[in-house]
Structure 1
Amino acid sequence: MATYNGERYLPEQLESIAQQTLLPDELVVCDDQSSDSTRAVVEDFGQTAPFPVYFHENPQRLHFADNFLEAAARCRGDYVAFCDQDDVWLPEKLERVGAAFDRTGAALVAHQALSFTEGSDREERFQFAHHGILLPDDLFPWHFFFGFACTFRRDLLDVSPSALRPFDVIDPRRRLAHDRWITFLATTRGIVVVLPDELARYRQHDTNESGWMRSGRSAGAAYSAARNRFAYNLAKHLSAARRFIEILEEQVAKQGNADRSDLDRLLDRWRELDEAYRARLAIAEEDTRAGRLKRWGEAMKRGAYRPSVAERPLPMSARELALAFIARPGQRGLAKSMLSQAGYPE
Structure 2
Amino acid sequence: MTKISVAVCTYNGEKFLRQQIDSILNQTLKVDEIVVCDDGSTDKTSQILGDYQKKFPEIFRIYINEKNLRSVKNFEKAVSLCTGEIIFLSDQDDVWEKNKVEAFDTFFTLNKQTDVLCSNGHIINENNQKQDLYTVWDVPEFLYANKQEIDYFKIFATIGNFATGAAMALRKSILPQVLPFPNIEGLHHDEWIALNSSEQKKFAFLNEKLFSYRIHNEQQVGGISYPKNEASKEKLINRFDYNKKAKTFRDFKIKFRTLNDKERKFSSFLEKNTDPKVKRFVETVQKERQVLEQNLKSEHFLFSLFFKYFYR
Is the TM value for this pair above 0.5? yes
Q: Matched residues in 1 for 2:122 and 2:175: separation?
A: 28
Structure 2 letter corresponding to 1:177: H
Larger Rg: 1
Q: Which has the higher strand share?
A: 2
Over residues 44-67 of structure 1, what are the superposed CA-to-partner deviations in whole Å (9 max), with x where a residue is unaligned? Answer: 122334951000011111111211
Q: Matched residues in 2 for 1:319 and 1:212: separation?
A: 32
Q: In the alignment, what sits opposite 1:149? A: 167
Q: Matched residues in 2 for 1:306 and 1:247: separation?
A: 27
Q: Give yes or no for contact 1:156–1:189 (8 Å, CA) kept in 2.
A: no
1:110 aligns with 2:110: no
Q: Give yes or no for contact 2:270–2:278 (8 Å, CA) kept in 1.
A: no
Q: Give yes or no for contact 2:263–2:285 (8 Å, CA) kept in 1.
A: no
- 1:299-314 map, 5 Å: 302-305=290-293
- 1:165-314 map, 5 Å: 165=182, 167-168=184-185, 170=186, 176-213=187-224, 233=261, 236-239=264-267, 246-248=275-277, 267=280, 270-275=282-287, 302-305=290-293
Q: Matched residues in 2 for 1:180 and 1:117: separation?
A: 24
Q: In the alignment, what sits opposite 1:129? A: 139
Over residues 98-142 of structure 1, what are the superposed CA-to-partner deviations in whole Å (9 max), with x where a residue is unaligned? Answer: 101011121111111000222473423533412589666564424
* TM-score computed with the length of structure 1 as normaliser: 0.63
Of 87, 90, 105, the residue aligned with 2:94 is 87
Q: Matched residues in 1 for 2:304 and 2:13: separation?
A: 41
Q: In the alignment, what sits opposite 1:338? A: none
Structure 1 letter corresponding to 2:121: A
Over residues 24-78 of structure 1, what are the superposed CA-to-partner deviations in whole Å (9 max), with x where a residue is unaligned? Answer: 1100000000001111111212233495100001111111121111100100011
Displacement of 1:201:
0.6
Q: Give yes or no for contact 1:22–1:92 (8 Å, CA) kept in 2.
A: yes
Structure 1 letter corresponding to 2:189: H
Of 22, 25, 34, the residue aligned with 2:32 is 25
- 1:73-84 map, 5 Å: 73-84=80-91
* TM-score computed with the length of structure 2 as normaliser: 0.70
Q: Give yes or no for contact 1:136–1:191 (8 Å, CA) kept in 2.
A: no
1:48 aligns with 2:52: no
- % identity of equivalent residues: 23
* Matched residue count: 260
Q: Give yes or no for contact 2:184–2:269 (8 Å, CA) kept in 1.
A: no
Q: Give yes or no for contact 1:166–1:239 (8 Å, CA) kept in 2.
A: no
Q: Matched residues in 1 for 2:38 and 2:96: separation?
A: 20
SS in 1 for 2:191: helix
Query: Cα RMSD over matched residues?
Result: 3.9
Q: Matched residues in 2 for 1:196 and 1:8: separation?
A: 29
Looking at both structures, which has the greater relative contact order when contacts are Cα pairs under 8 Å and sequence separation is at least 6? Answer: 2
Structure 2: where are the runs of 5+ without partners?
1-7, 227-253
Q: In the alignment, what sits opposite 1:66? A: 73
